[in-house]
Structure 1
Amino acid sequence: MMPLTKLLSRTVSSCFSSSNGRPFAMAAKALQHCRYSSAAAQVAESETEALKDYADYRRSLYGHITHKALLVDAVGTLVLPSQPMAQIYRTIGEKYGVEYSEDEILHRYRRAYSQPWGKSRLRYVNDGRPFWQYIVSYSTGCSDSQYFEELYNYYMTDKAWHLCDPEAEKVFNALRKSGVKLAVVSNFDTRLRPVLRALNCENWFDAVAVSAEVAAEKPNPTIFLKACELLGVNPEDAVHVGDDRRNDVWGARDAGCDAWLWGSDVHSFKEVAQRIGVQV
């Protein structure tokens, strides 16, 4: 690879020998690019060093681990829908007269879901049926009660969901053996527990904090504080992992917890465990 000084020298020389009348501009642009690249590398190196220093500081508090507890978001982090929502709404709805296309169902779903839920400050209260009846009816144009029940019950089964990380069980077992407590923290109705049981993962966790039961939805700090209370740890002892920057990262930090963004800060539960200081 050519040394940077020689590369710059050749670039500048070629600029001055060019006939386009803009030698100085070309040379300046090359030099500026190198400065930006160097600055970006220095920032990345500084961030890496800061993370290492922070991890070392946490381990000085707790021994070989950085946190006493791991809080995990459900949908988008622990579990994922097995089929697109609009496809399921359309497929189940055909025998009930649903005629909207999947694209139209998705568009109407997003519009309905983004609107304030006027009957409550919470979307999910207890089993969440009133909220979901509104969503399904608006999304599909079908208010048939049998259709709603079939769709509602489908999302309590292992057909509807699958684990995001196939190594999750092995990682969580290793974390618990190392003394790290685990909890699910989710904006969900009371169907979350049946979903976890259907996926055979409820016993992986020491606690489950569901917004419908806590009466607080992320990013409200209350739900994170409740999870810490259930685990018997202080908020500063816990790290939360989730895929939504606002709900998961900002909400957890407002509660006093550490937080990592799934898909950005961490990409697998094995990586989460390694950052905590547990080898899998």
Structure 2
Amino acid sequence: MIKAVSFDFYNTLVRFWPPLEEIQQAACHELGLTVREDAITRGYAVADVLFNRENEDRPLSERSDEDRLEFFGRYEQLILETAGVSVSLDLAKRVWKMAMTVPKDFVPFNDAVPALKQLKEAGYKVGVITNLRRDLDELCRRVGLAPYLDFTVGSEEVGMEKPHPPIFMAALKRVGAEPQEVVHVGDQLRSDVMGAQGVGMQAVLIDRNGYGPEAVDCPTIASLSELVKLLECLNQA
């Protein structure tokens, strides 16, 4: 019986505002590049796999400014190449640096708060597991998610990031449940799905734009509004 649901934070419960696609498109325009917003969305889906793999191997927060710029240049290059625009590494770095000057903040997806409310009303414990190195409780309060959360676990407090087991084990301890009693929902195959499954938790992949991996060993949803019904099915299986 499922007792609790944990969520990844960025790209699962919240997104950036202004949207990254708009920021990227504007930066590209300033530098003489033309790219469609929907193509940038696909570019991010591909580049984020690289981001998570690199961050898992060696956290970007622990790298020098020079190393981070080198990585994000390659990250930007992959975004644009996937979007159909080939650029040099130097130009990719210029696009990235220009995009990063735009002020932005987190805002919940439209389906986030309604889904959290539904889960709480259905009796589930609800929480967040994230690799963001921020004051997570304050961040959740600021974006309006805190009233619906029973626990939060961030990589900064644990000292390890998803998909490594310690961050998931810390969440299980926090919620007081066995691994098979918890479902983790996230947008990344390796850090969310495989990480959760690695400690015995169930996993759900959220693929909002249809650009996720084609074959995954878990249920896939396009919106958090599908989650309560899915959990009912999992409990009956």
Pair in the same fold by TM > 0.5: yes
The normalised TM-score by structure 2 is 0.62
Q: Which runs of 5+ in 1 are unaligned?
A: 1-57, 59-66
- Cα distance, 1:90 vs. partner? 7.7
Are residues 148 and 101 of structure 1, via their aligned partners in 2, closer, same or farther at CA, if it must alter by over 3 Å? closer
Please tell me whether residue 226 in structure 1 is matched to residue 158 in structure 2: no
2:20: which partner in 1? 85
Aligned residues: 197
Q: CA deviation at 1:219?
A: 1.5
Decide which structure has the larger Cα Rg and report it: 1
> Which residue type is aligned with residue 78 of structure 1?
L
Question: Could you tell me which residue of structure 1 aligns to residue 203 of structure 2?
Answer: 259
Aligned to 2:11: 76
**1:164-175 equivalences in 2 (<5 Å):** 166-175=110-119
CA contact (8 A) 2:23 2:99 kept: no
Deviations 1:165-187 (A, max 9, x none): x2432332232233311111122
**2:227 maps to which residue?**
272
3-state secondary structure, aligned to 1:261: strand
Q: Is the 8 A contact 1:208 1:227 kept in 2?
A: yes
Residue of structure 2 in register with 1:13 after alignment: none
Contact 2:5–2:127 at 8 Å: present in 1 too?
yes
Aligned partner of 2:121 among 177, 196, 200: 177
1:76-122 CA-partner distances (Å, limit 9, x unpaired): 2212234453653685899xxx858586xx89xx599478469x832
Mapped contact 1:196–1:202 kept (Cα < 8 A): yes
Displacement of 1:252: 0.5
Which residue does 1:6 correspond to in 2? none
Look up the SS of the partner of 1:218 in the other structure. coil
CA–CA separation in structure 2 for the residues paired with 1:114 and 1:272: 24
8 Å contact kept, 2:4–2:126 = yes
Aligned CA-pair RMSD: 4.1
Gaps of 5+ in 2: 77-91, 208-218
Higher relative contact order (CA 8 A, sep 6+): 2
* C-alpha distance in structure 2 between counterparts of 1:246 and 1:262, whole Å: 13
Deviation, structure 1 residue 257 = 0.5
Call closer, same or farther: CA 1:90–1:198 in 2, change over 3 Å.
farther
